[in-house]
């Protein structure tokens, strides 16, 4: 019984610590969420997130930010929510995380994360 418990704990830790590559280069995924580092501050990254969500033709696009963090959200036509969170890493870098729906959509989330990165970095 103890061996099974140790094995289960080790497996859970390995899954929790690992981040798989997504379908988009530079974007990591845990299936539910996709994230990437952006060479821009939180305000610029949040503005880029809003612009990308609007550019995808999503509904109810909202965004707000501070110098420490930011968030953006939107809905697909079927009501599925897309949430974007932005966290400050340092004065010039932030991390953007995308979650599509409740369970996540790794391909769609990775595509949105990559577009936000490119827009914020001016690529």
Tallying the residues shown for the chain, one arrives at: 123
Q: Please tell me the pTM assigned to this model.
A: 0.82
Is residue 87 in a domain? Answer: yes
Is residue 10 in a domain? Answer: no
Could you tell me if 53 and 115 are in contact, meaning their C-beta atoms sit under 8 angstroms apart? no
Distance, in Å, from the CA atom of 110 to the CA atom of 98, rounded to the nearest integer, reads 8
Could you tell me if 29 and 19 are in contact, meaning their C-beta atoms sit under 8 angstroms apart? yes
* Residue linked to tokens 């999503």: 58
Could you tell me if 96 and 84 are in contact, meaning their C-beta atoms sit under 8 angstroms apart? yes
Structural domains in the chain (count): 1
Is residue 14 in a domain? Answer: no
Q: Which residues contact 62 (CB under 8 A, 6 or more apart)?
A: 50, 72, 73, 74
Distance, in Å, from the CA atom of 42 to the CA atom of 39, rounded to the nearest integer, reads 10
Domain of residue 33: give its range. 19-120
Q: pLDDT tens string for the chain (123 positions)?
A: 555 554 554 444 444 444 576 677 889 999 999 999 999 999 999 999 999 999 999 999 999 999 999 999 999 999 999 999 999 999 999 999 999 999 999 999 999 999 999 999 998
Q: What CATH number should be reported for the domain holding residue 46?
A: 3.30.310.80
Locate the DSSP E strands across 1-123. Answer: 20-21, 28-29, 33-38, 59-65, 69-75, 81-90, 93-100
């Amino acid at each position: 019984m103890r061996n099974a418990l140790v094995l289960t704990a080790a497996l859970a830790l390995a899954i929790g610590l690992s981040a798989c590559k997504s379908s988009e280069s530079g974007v990591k995924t845990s299936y539910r969420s996709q994230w990437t580092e952006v060479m821009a501050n939180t305000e610029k990254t949040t503005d880029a997130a809003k612009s990308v969500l609007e550019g995808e033709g999503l509904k109810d696009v909202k965004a707000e930010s501070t110098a420490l963090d930011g968030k953006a959200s939107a809905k697909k036509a079927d009501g599925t929510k897309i949430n974007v969170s932005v966290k400050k890493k340092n004065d010039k870098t932030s991390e953007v995380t995308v979650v599509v729906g409740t369970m996540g959509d790794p391909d769609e989330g990775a595509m949105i994360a990559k577009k936000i990165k490119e827009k914020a970095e001016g690529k």
